[in-house]
Amino acid sequence: MTTITEIETRLTRALAVMPSEQSVHALDQRVARAMAAPAATHRPWARSRRSFLRPLALVAAFVFLTGTAIGAVNLLERTVGSDPTWRTAWDRAEVLGLVQTDAGLTLTLERAYADVNQVMIFMTVEGLGLPSTSDGGRAAIDWTGELRDPSGRQLTATTIGGEGAVEPDISAVLQTWVGAPDPMAGTWELIVTSAGYAGGGMVPGICTVGATEPECVNPPADAMVHGTWRFQFDLPKPVGAIASTAVSGTVDGATITVTELRVSPTMISARLALLVNGTSVAYWGTSHDFMSEMSIRHGGTTFVPNSSYHVTQDPADRGPNGDENEFYVEVGSDDATGTWHIEIPAIDYHETGENDPAKGIRVSGPWTLTVTVP
């Protein structure tokens, strides 16, 4: 019987097409010309213009890094880097320093932060011997756990992968749960149930079929360490403003409604719903064309969402305004009051549930929706 590994090998070989040297040369020349274009055509770093091509689900963002002789806090701080969202959360987070040891692993919850858009934890894991890549880089690790807000509601906590390394014995974990937590001060609970290297099968980020590195030829056995690391900690009321609205606009039968706008120090998020001729669609997004991006304007500043999440993946969750997406700007604001203008130049929607832009039906706007936050 053909094994999955054999299938992977055959598939990899079948897809390993090599272009001709002449073709590669032509491609190289083309890219070189693009790079040689006048500097004026290349936009400088624009802090308020962060956008990607199309919506992507942003439920959990994470980074694992490693270090040896440096302290856990320094390691976390280095991991935070200059990313404005992480930096804001790190700087404003509650300093906790809670330590739990089980099954040979010591987890330290250094800090935690919550606003009306997301919750972030900053944690280190000590005691894992993680496989490294052949170049000494990161290897993939997983951890599982759950986070409960003061009302006892479990936030979306997924089993996730990240990166670690063998040489250091400490990993920094930054985990984000995107979504509005319970808007109250109180006691939160984080329960980590496993951490480690998943091993076996696919080794994300390291091995492709046919790779000859030792860790790929003989992948280590599942080294997930199971245990219970339970942290309880108090956080103040999540900061930020939430405006529930029913502001809508219609173009060519497509009605977009702003059902919620959340503004916090780490993120601006807008929840938008779509009905087409009074009927909910299966999926929709703003056009991924570079030249027709959604924007959110407030007080002379223009923000461009750079990710989104399809909220009503389950049709049963759809409300009277139709299928809902949340659009996220990964730069926050301390000033929520005033008028917010949301402009959507074009959308693609799908009637049949396939999350593939190629099947989308495009409607050109613009829709300009104005929300006032008192």
Q: Give the Cα separation of 149 and 252 in Å (integer).
A: 42
Q: Which is nearer to another protein, 57 or 223 (CB)?
A: 57
**Minimum distance, C-beta of residue 81 to another protein, in the bound complex (Å):** 5
**Minimum distance, C-beta of residue 155 to another protein, in the bound complex (Å):** 14
Of 68-76, 89-97, 121-129, 301-309: span binding another protein (CB under 8 A): 301-309
Q: Which is nearer to another protein, 52 or 299 (CB)?
A: 52
Per CB under 8 A, does 56 bind another protein?
Answer: yes
**Minimum distance, C-beta of residue 140 to another protein, in the bound complex (Å):** 7
Among positions 43, 69, 278, 314, the unique one binding another protein when judged by CB under 8 A: 43
Per CB under 8 A, does 355 bind another protein?
Answer: yes
Identify the H or E element spanning 23. Answer: helix 21-35
Q: Give the Cα separation of 192 and 106 in Å (integer).
A: 11
Q: Which is nearer to another protein, 45 or 217 (CB)?
A: 45
Per CB under 8 A, does 70 bind another protein?
Answer: no
Number of helices followed by number of strands (H, E) in the chain: 5, 20
Among positions 13, 153, 226, 341, the unique one binding another protein when judged by CB under 8 A: 13
Tokens 């040896």 correspond to what residue?
Answer: 68
Whole-angstrom CA distances from 137 to 108, 116, 167 are 23, 35, 9
Per CB under 8 A, does 341 bind another protein?
Answer: no
Q: Give the Cα separation of 263 and 261 in Å (integer).
A: 7
Of 103-111, 117-125, 230-238, 306-314: span binding another protein (CB under 8 A): 306-314
Among positions 330, 336, 365, 371, the unique one binding another protein when judged by CB under 8 A: 330
Residue 178 token pair: 């995107």
Per CB under 8 A, does 85 bind another protein?
Answer: yes
Per CB under 8 A, does 237 bind another protein?
Answer: no
Among positions 158, 187, 228, 301, the unique one binding another protein when judged by CB under 8 A: 158
Among positions 38, 40, 54, 221, the unique one binding another protein when judged by CB under 8 A: 54
Q: Which is nearer to another protein, 46 or 185 (CB)?
A: 46
Per CB under 8 A, does 319 bind another protein?
Answer: no
- What's the distance, CA 211 to chain centroid? 29
Judged by CB under 8 A, the chain residues 95 through 154 that form the site for another protein are 133, 135, 137-138, 140
Judged by CB under 8 A, the chain residues 178 through 217 that form the site for another protein are 202, 204-206, 208-209, 211
